[in-house]
Amino acid sequence: MSGNTENRNIENHNEKKAKGPSTSNFIKSIINNDIKAGKYGGRVHTRFPPEPNGYLHIGHAKSICLNFGIAAEYNGLCNLRFDDTNPVKEDVEYVDSIKEDVSWLGFDWQDRLFFASDYFDQLYEFAVELIKKGKAYVCDLAPDEVKEYRGTLTMPGKESPYRNRSVEENLDLFKQMRDGEFEDGLRVLRAKIDMSSPNMNMRDSTIYRIKHSSHHRTGDKWCIYPMYDFTHCLSDSIERITHSLCTLEFENHRLLYDWYLDQLDVYHPQQIEFARLNLSYTVLSKRKLLRLVRQGYVSGWDDPRMPTISGLRRRGYSPRAIRFFAELIGIAKKDSLVDLSMLEFSVREDLNKHAPRIMAVLNPLKVIIDNYPDGHEEELDAINNPEDPSAGTRKVPFSKVLYIERDDFMEQPPRKFFRLSPGREVRLRYAYFLTCQSVIKDDTTGKIIELHCTYDPETKGGSSPDGRKVKATLHWVSARHAVKSEVRIYDHLFTIENPNDTEDGKDFIDYLNHDSLKVLQECYFEPGIINAKIGSTYQFERLGYFCVDKESTDTHKVFNRTVTLRDSWAKHKKR
C-alpha cells in the first residue's frame, strides 16, 4: 500500500478523537445515555485494575486504552488500581513494571494510584456488617466439600450445615480467623445468598479465605484475604467509579457485584462487560506467559517475541502504534480472534511515517567494481524519510568494494527475477548503474564468493542521461566503511493460529515454534548507525523495520526486526 493511504488512516483516527465523544461503541452509547439521564451527576470515572501477578500484555493495553481513553474523551478521570488480594502470586516487580507500562503507553493516573490492599481494613468492616445483617457466615466445610455442595450447572447446590450459625458465633469465628487461630483452608467466610441459584456465583460465594502469607504491601498484618468479587465491587464503590469496564468472563459475576453493593447499601457503580482481545499465534494469559518465562522458552518478560507491552516495546513498537491498534480493533460484545497481522499493520503504519531509512545488508555478497578507481571514495546524498521531508538527507560513503544482499543476485535467473545476474544492469540506490561481469566461486564448495562488476560513472544519483532503464534498484553498503552488527529475526511464537484451543491431550507449549528466532551475526550497515540509540527504530531499505536492542553497546549494535515491509492485512482487507 502507498504511504499516503497509511498516513490518511492515522489522521482519520486523530480526527475522530478531536471531534470529541462519539457513539462509536456500545460503551459510549451507555455513557451518553447515563449523562443525558443525569446518572452519577454526569460524571465519568473509570479505572484500570490489574492484578500484579505478571507483566501487562497487549490485551491489557486494549483495556488501558479503553479506560483511560473514555475518561479523557468525557473529561472524566481514570484510576490505576492494583487488585492485590492474592499475596502468594503477587510481587512488587510486577507493580513497578505495570506502572512503567501504563505511563509508557501515554496515560497518566495523576494522584490516583490505589491498591485494593489499602482497603483491607474497610473491607474487613464491610464483611462484619454483612455478618451482622445475617448475610454472611463462617463455613467449616473443607474445600472439596464446598465444591461438592455447590452443585453443578444442572443441579442445585446443597446448603452448608454451618449456614445457620448465629450472628454472634459468626462474628466470633471471623475474628478468630483474622487473629490467626486457624490454619489455611480450615474455614472461610461465605455470603449467604442462594444455593439453588442458576448462577453458580450466587451459591454462597466465598468472601474471605485464610492464607498465612506475607503481602508485598501489608506484610504480616493479615492472614485472611478477601476474594476478588467482594474486593472489586467495593473498591469501585470506595473510589466512586461510575463505569466499571471489565471483560466478558465477568458477566456472570455481575449479579454478585450488584448483590454485595445492595446488601451493604453503598454507592453503586455500574459493571459493563466487553470482549477480551485474543490474538492469533499468541497466548494472552499471564499464567501461560509466566510459564514461557519460568521454563525458559523465552529470554524474559520483555523477550521481543512476547505479546507483553515490554516485549513489544523492545521489539520496536511505539505507544502510538499500540494505541492505534486498540482503536482499530474497537470494542465489541462478542469474543473473537484478531489476526496478528492487524497488530503488524498498526506498527507499520506508524513506522512508515516516523522511522528514518538506512541501508543495511543482512546476508552479504561482496561486489568489486573493477572500473572504479582504487582508493577513491565519495559521499552520496540519501533521503532519510520520503514520508517526512523535514527528516532531511544524509551522506552515504561509496567506494570500490561493496556488499549487496546475496538474494539480490542469481547466476541463472528465472524469468521473473529482475535483479542482478551476469550481464544484467541494475541501479544501486542513490548511487550508480551497475553491471555484473563475472562470478567468482569457491573451487571446492561452489559457493559464490564475490562478483566482479562495472559501473557507469554517467549515472550518478541513479539515473542515466541517455534515458536507459533498469528493472531493479538494490541497496548496498560500502565494505570499507561498513559497521558490522547483529540482527535478530523473529517469527510467530506458535505454529498454530489458536494455541489456546489445543487438541485433546496437548498443551500450548506443544505448539511452540522452535524457529521463532534467527540470529544473523554478519550484517553490514552504513557507518552512521554507530550512533543509533537503544530503542530507536529504522527502516532498512527493502527489508523491514528494525529496532536497536538493549543489548547493544557503543561498538556492537544488536537489532530486532520489528516487522517486515509486506502488508498482508491491508491486502487481505482489500480483497
Pick the catalytic residue from 286, 313, 323, 357: 286
Give the integer Cα–Cα distance in Å for 408 and 414: 13
**3-class SS of residue 133:** coil
Binding span for ligand ATP by CB under 6 A among 134-142, 283-291, 338-346, 508-516: 283-291
Q: Report the residue number, 63 or 237, with the smaller CB distance to Mg ion.
A: 63
Which residue in this structure is represented by grid cell 463462617? Answer: 138
The interface mask with ligand ATP, positions 44-83, x = CB under 6 A, is: -----xxx-------xx-xx-------------------x
Report in angstroms how near the CB of residue 32 gets to ligand ATP at its nearest.
Answer: 22
| Residue nearest to ligand ATP according to CB distances in the complex | 59
69 binds, among ligand ATP, Mg ion, none (CB under 5 to 8 A by kind): none
Which amino acid does the sequence have at 476? W
Q: Does 247 bind ligand ATP (CB under 6 A)?
A: yes
Q: Does 91 bind ligand ATP (CB under 6 A)?
A: no
Report in angstroms how near the CB of residue 54 gets to ligand ATP at its nearest.
Answer: 6
Q: Report the residue number, 50 or 544, with the smaller CB distance to ligand ATP.
A: 50
Give how far the C-alpha of residue 239 lies from the chain's centroid of Cα atoms, to the nearest Å: 28
Pick the catalytic residue from 17, 43, 51, 112: 51
Catalytic annotation present for 11: no
Quick one: cell of 32? 451518553
**Cβ neighbours around 179 below 10 Å, total:** 10
**3-class SS of residue 226:** strand
Quick one: cell of 251? 458477566
Report in angstroms how near the CB of residue 286 gets to ligand ATP at its nearest.
Answer: 3
**Site for Mg ion, residues 18 to 57, rule: CB under 5 A:** 51
Catalytic annotation present for 125: no
Contacts of 45 (CB under 8 A, 6+ apart): 71, 76, 77, 78, 79, 239, 240, 241, 242, 243
Catalytic annotation present for 542: no
From the list 392, 478, 484, 388, the residue with the least C-alpha distance to 432 is 478
From the list 318, 378, 327, 325, the residue with the least C-alpha distance to 535 is 318
Q: Does 286 bind ligand ATP (CB under 6 A)?
A: yes
On whether the CB atoms of residues 56 and 94 are closer than 8 A, the answer is: no
247 binds, among ligand ATP, Mg ion, none (CB under 5 to 8 A by kind): ligand ATP
Pick the catalytic residue from 276, 291, 394, 460: 276
Which residues, listed in sequence order, are joined to residue 425 by a DSSP beta bridge?
A: 435
276 binds, among Mg ion, ligand ATP, none (CB under 5 to 8 A by kind): ligand ATP
Q: Report the residue number, 172 or 497, with the smaller CB distance to ligand ATP.
A: 497
Q: What residue ranges in 214-308 does DSSP mark as E strands?
A: 224-226, 243-247, 270-274, 277-279
Q: Report the residue number, 329 or 420, with the smaller CB distance to ligand ATP.
A: 329
Q: Interface residues with Mg ion (CB under 5 A)? A: 51
Residues tagged active-site? 51, 276, 286
